[in-house]
A = this chain, B = another copy of it.
Amino acid sequence: MPLHRRTVLYLAVGLCGWSALAFAQQVDPLPSWNEGKAKQTILDFVSRVTRERGQDFVPPERRIATFDNDGTLWAEQPIYFQFQFAIDEIKRLAGQNPALKGKEPFRSVLAGDIKALTADNHKGLGQVLARTHSGTTTDAFALSVANWLSSARHPTKQRRYDELIYQPQIELLQHLRANGFKTFIVSGGGVEFMRVFAEKAYGIPPEQIVGSSGVVTFRLDGSGKPELFKEAKVEFVDDGPGKPVGINRFIGRRPILAFGNSDGDLQMLQYTAGGDGPRLALIIHHTDAEREWAYDRTSRIGKLDKALDEANAKGWTVVDMKDDWKTVFPEAK
């Protein structure tokens, strides 16, 4: 090949490479986040821990990021979606088994008296959860959750519950994974409930979900087929001080990034921030009564009080939903 043709070729290849690089640098990995301190803190952190030979470099196997679910990855008002599932299941079961209609606490549920469930230290709620989350195999339970998700609609947003996920967080999860992070859910919600939709909704596979659980037993059915049976007994509550315990049990490494939204996330954030090296602790502050909901220190669901004080005292990043998020939910499909 004559020299001038080779030179042109090199120039072309060089220009292509440079353009691709420039383009990549211009593409915003977090388009649903408004420019501001929160977004910049996140981008800087990811950039610092992935810069090889930088002093804050963290090897990929230690890039563990944990996210709460209710109020952090999807909405949680007016009641936790999993509670709504339980209420809807009672209605469905009462259709099949009318005897339920006369028995408390199911009568209250069917009459729409949700408040009655919280009396006597949430005794009724416990009975409703037990009735809808046990006495069945894990496979049958997963099927009932999938059926509910496909048919139920949120009372005010009029959308599928698994569409009320936060678009900015979907982008953040993707940005973290694109930078070698392993992303986990660490939630007070039931692990068997979340596993039904989390892979499709968030790209988080079942084995990266830590949650509350009930006792499960192994048995062979009448034909010798193995099955796992859900018992009516709580085994682990992955909330508050249970979150770092769950992280230790399931993941076995301390996260370098954790994201929560309520006092139930305080200890996870303390544990994450308390390790050596670069750390990022984040809290979503629900400040957007128009697009989502506005609630914090006195909310019945997702109370954010002590964790907000500690975030302010320790310089954790508080994301203001109204100011920091350009979009809240993904566009309807």
Contacts and interface: CB of A to CB of B under 8 A. Distances in A.
Interface of A: 1, 61, 64, 138, 182, 184, 191-192, 195, 199, 205-209, 213, 216-220, 225-226, 228, 241-242, 244-245, 248-253, 267, 270-271, 274
A253 B270 CA distance: 31
Contact of A251 (B206, B219, B226, B252): B206
- The 8 A-B residue pairs with the shortest CB-CB distance, nearest first, are A206-B252, A218-B241, A226-B274, A218-B244, A207-B251, A226-B271, A226-B270, A195-B252
Given A245-B216, A250-B250, A274-B225, A199 B61 contact: yes
Nearest to A235: B249
Contacts of A199: 61
A209 B252 contact: yes
Contacts of A192: 252
Nearest to A225: B274
Contact of A245 (B217, B241, B271): B217
Q: Taking the full assembly, how many copies of this chain does it contain?
A: 2
Nearest to A229: B245
A228 B207 contact: no
Contact of A249 (B191, B242, B248): B191
Q: Tell me the dominant secondary structure on chain A's binding face.
A: mixed
Contacts of A213: 249
A206 B217 CA distance: 25
A244 B184 CA distance: 22
Contacts of A248: 138, 216, 228
13 contacts: A1-B1, A195-B252, A206-B253, A207-B208, A207-B250, A207-B253, A217-B241, A218-B241, A218-B245, A218-B271, A226-B244, A226-B271, A228-B248
A323 to B, nearest CB: 30
Contacts of A217: 241, 245
A49 to B, nearest CB: 18
A226 B267 contact: yes
A182 B205 CA distance: 12
B244 A191 contact: no
A43 B274 CA distance: 46
Contacts of A64: 207
Contacts of A209: 252
Nearest to A230: B248
A216 B61 contact: no
A216 B246 CA distance: 9
Contacts of A228: 244-245, 248, 271
Contacts of A206: 251-253
Contacts of A242: 218
B245 A191 contact: no
A270 B220 contact: yes
A207 B267 contact: no
Given A218-B267, A226-B270, A226-B271, 4 more contacts: A64-B207, A207-B207, A218-B271, A228-B271
A214 to B, nearest CB: 10
A192 B216 CA distance: 22
